[in-house]
Amino acid sequence: AAEDSLFCSSTSKFPFPPSNLHCSRLGLPPISAMELMIHSSSFLLPNIPAGEEDNHRHSPTYALVLLNQRLPQFTPLLWQHARVRVCADGGANRVYDEMPLLFPHEDAAIVRHRFKPDVIKGDMDSIRSEVLSFYSELVSRATSGTDVVDESDDQDTTDLHKCIAYINGAMPNVDKSSFCILVTGALGGRFDHEAGNLNVLHRFSTTRITLLSDECLIYLLPKTHRHEIHVNSSAEGPHCGLIPMGMPSGRTTTTGLQWDLNEAEMKFGGLVSTSNIVKAEKVTVESDADLLWTISIKKF
Amino acid sequence: AAEDSLFCSSTSKFPFPPSNLHCSRLGLPPISAMELMIHSSSFLLPNIPAGEEDNHRHSPTYALVLLNQRLPQFTPLLWQHARVRVCADGGANRVYDEMPLLFPHEDAAIVRHRFKPDVIKGDMDSIRSEVLSFYSELGTDVVDESDDQDTTDLHKCIAYINGAMPNVDKSSFCILVTGALGGRFDHEAGNLNVLHRFSTTRITLLSDECLIYLLPKTHRHEIHVNSSAEGPHCGLIPMGMPSGRTTTTGLQWDLSE
């Protein structure tokens, strides 16, 4: 039928020894055939841990996409970690209006100069003209003005889709296993927008994309991999969930949750794991379906 | 496979003549075998149209469930239309705190007395003690279900309302829900799942920006749009399972199988 074929990026940078704990029970090939994908929300920490040579893990690199909803309180932290910052259309209004509000003791103009997007992209039907002028004219000694890419003629893809495609195209040589695109403003508001944004996670399944709000974060756990989620309990949790968004799951197994799943069936109309609680520093998930992982974010 | 068997309430009160426009193309049995379900958001209008005798349509009746997110601006309108109003746990905090804000020129205590929930239900881990006291002393029925951790607060409220109104005509009865969207995504997903789990009950989730309800595959659907109150932005979301074929009319970008 209309089943998406999902594929995820290689995890050859994360050489954890495979174990065969569950493979015989699940009737699957040895787990060495199902690669491990490791997840960590280190972008929520003030200082991102450096790459650990003994584990051959590279320091994570980030891009930031800002959509047109209220900025989360921790947006400046994300901005600081990101290598590139892209506003999707009205997301530029949010940066212009709300970054100064996050630094109430500083001059608004100074804050606006400090938080200058690298790119503004989309169909330009939401961005205010004075915001557009401000950023495209902004010139400092070190950087050029914001690059404005008008795609008002492309009505077939969402603004987020355009931004993800842009970033992927702009960074073709980046190590995808340690690169993640952080997105603010994708949740809440109009539900058709939110659903379209959740669909972007599925359509760009080879790209790590994390949707963020003040309350929670969401990312895709593709069924092609088994997953280890490293929980930074200073910044996230304990509330979490696993959502079979586009297709039912015949069996999902987890460890590290208060209500672990043991080859459990999950689907809309039946069981969906919500209001679960993280119990360990590491959560593992194996499933026959793509799942959305969501975890609450602690008050900043 | 694991396809939801979704079913919606009978539309025998809405005797529109079946047409066979698409049935042969779709390879489906005659449309008389697939019932029509009609949808209308008349609760968004100040005055709900009375039942129209010539079409045998009953006036719609509503219940209102308030969950723990900021109240939409039009909540007083929903409250006025509803026959019963149920707060899910911290939803009572919202009514207590925010109804007065929607009537800034009136005395807060007067507003709070006017908007008294009929029931407060759930596991009571969010409602503030002073809010709980205020409403229970006013006569609100408080139903504590803190021992039931297997179902969400919304699920408990829907089950409660269905149990409290066993004889209601389900084809013209709808449960309106505020506060189900936004906030923590696992809560939102759980609330969307309630729509699927109670597929024989009309449930509409509402926020300031949009509304959502289920279109079960067992019926063909007519959605009557009140353009004074809703639209034009809309969408159809296959949540939970893919759709092999969907056909629409009336949209800018219609789907054709």
To which H or E segment does residue A66 belong? Answer: strand A61-66
- Whether B193 contacts chain A with CB within 8 A: yes
Assess whether pLDDT exceeds 70 at residue B125. Answer: yes
A131 close to A92: Cβ distance less than 8 angstroms: yes
Q: Which residues of B touch A272 (CB under 8 A)?
A: 189-190, 193
Assess whether pLDDT exceeds 50 at residue A180. Answer: yes
Nearest to A218 among B183, B185, B197 (CB): B185
- Whether A243 contacts chain B with CB within 8 A: yes
List for chain A the helix, strand, coil content (%; round to 5). Answer: 25, 30, 45
Nearest-5° Cα angle at A160, A157 to A164? 100
Nearest to B147 by CA among B117, B123, B111: B123
List the single range of A66-80, A234-248, B54-68, B170-184 with lowest mean pLDDT: B54-68
Rounded Cα gap, residues A219 and A212, in angstroms: 9
Q: Give per-residue burial for A258-274: e unless 16+ CB within 10 Å, then b.
A: eebbeebbbbbbbbbbb
Nearest to A245 by CA among A179, A200, A212, A184: A200
Looking at residue B27, what is its pLDDT? 54
**Nearest Cα residue in chain B from A249:** B2
Q: Which residues of A touch B193 (CB under 8 A)?
A: 268-269, 272, 274
- Rounded to the nearest integer, the mean pLDDT of chain B is 86
Assess whether pLDDT exceeds 90 at residue B41. Answer: yes
Backbone angles phi, psi at B80, to 5 degrees: -65, -35
- Whether A238 contacts chain B with CB within 8 A: no
Assess whether pLDDT exceeds 70 at residue A86. Answer: yes
C-alpha distances (whole Å) from A88 to each of A3, A162, B75 are 29, 8, 32
Looking at residue B35, what is its pLDDT? 92
To which H or E segment does residue A297 belong? Answer: strand A291-297
Nearest to B142 by CA among B155, B150, B131: B131
Confidence tier at A141 by pLDDT (50, 70, 90): very low
Higher pLDDT pick, A206 / A75: A75
CB under 8 Å to A289, separation ≥6 — which residues? A223, A244, A247, A248, A249, A250, A252, A266
Å between A4 CA and nearest CA of chain B: 9
Looking at residue A27, what is its pLDDT? 54
Is A1 buried (19+), middle (13-18) or exposed (0-12) by CB count in 10 A?
exposed
C-alpha distances (whole Å) from B26 to each of B20, B22, B121 are 10, 6, 45
Q: What is the pTM of this model?
A: 0.86
Q: Which of A27-31, A125-129, A237-241, B12-16 has the highest mean pLDDT?
A: A237-241
Confidence tier at A152 by pLDDT (50, 70, 90): low
Is B235 buried (19+), middle (13-18) or exposed (0-12) by CB count in 10 A?
middle
Rounded Cα gap, residues A161 and A241, in angstroms: 25
Q: How many Cβ pairs within 8 Å bridge chains A and B?
A: 116
B187 close to A275: Cβ distance less than 8 angstroms: yes
Confidence tier at B163 by pLDDT (50, 70, 90): very high
Assess whether pLDDT exceeds 90 at residue A123. Answer: no
The CATH architecture one would assign to domain B5-249 is 3-Layer(aba) Sandwich (3.40)
Looking at residue B51, what is its pLDDT? 56
Å between B11 CA and nearest CA of chain A: 22
Q: State the CB neighbour count (10 A cutoff) for residue A210.
A: 22
Looking at residue A122, what is its pLDDT? 82
Assess whether pLDDT exceeds 60 at residue A115. Answer: yes
Q: State the CB neighbour count (10 A cutoff) for residue A7.
A: 10
Higher pLDDT pick, B68 / B50: B68
Share of chain B above pLDDT 90, in %: 74
Assess whether pLDDT exceeds 60 at residue A4. Answer: no
- Cross-chain Cβ contact B237/A2 below 8 Å: no
Confidence tier at A33 by pLDDT (50, 70, 90): low
**Helical segments of chain A, H only:** 23-26, 75-81, 91-102, 108-114, 129-137, 159-170, 191-203
Nearest to A269 among B184, B185, B197 (CB): B197
Within 139-168 of A, beta carbons closer than 8 Å to B belong to: none
Looking at residue A166, what is its pLDDT? 93
Confidence tier at A144 by pLDDT (50, 70, 90): low
Decide: helix, strand or coil at residue B10: coil
Q: Which two tokens stand for residue B152?
A: 């969400």
Share of chain A above pLDDT 90, in %: 71
Looking at residue B240, what is its pLDDT? 84
Nearest to B41 by CA among B244, B234, B230: B230
Average pLDDT over residues B22-32: 50
How do residues A167-178 score in pLDDT, each as one tens digit?
Answer: 999 999 999 899
- Rounded to the nearest integer, the mean pLDDT of chain A is 86
Confidence tier at A217 by pLDDT (50, 70, 90): very high
A283 close to A254: Cβ distance less than 8 angstroms: yes
Rounded Cα gap, residues A144 and B143, in angstroms: 62
Looking at residue B15, what is its pLDDT? 30
Looking at residue A240, what is its pLDDT? 98
DSSP string, B141-166: EEEE-TT--SS-HHHHHHHHHHHH-T
How do residues B171-218 score in pLDDT, each as one tens digit?
Answer: 999 999 999 999 999 999 999 999 999 999 999 999 999 999 999 999
Q: Which two tokens stand for residue B236?
A: 């159809």
- Whether A272 contacts chain B with CB within 8 A: yes
C-alpha distances (whole Å) from B244 to each of B1, B2, B33 are 14, 15, 20
Task: Choose, out of A272, A283, A290, the residue to mutate when testing the contact with B (most B CBs < 10 Å).
Answer: A272
Confidence tier at A53 by pLDDT (50, 70, 90): very low
- Cross-chain Cβ contact B197/A241 below 8 Å: no
The residue count for chain A: 300
Å between A203 CA and nearest CA of chain B: 14
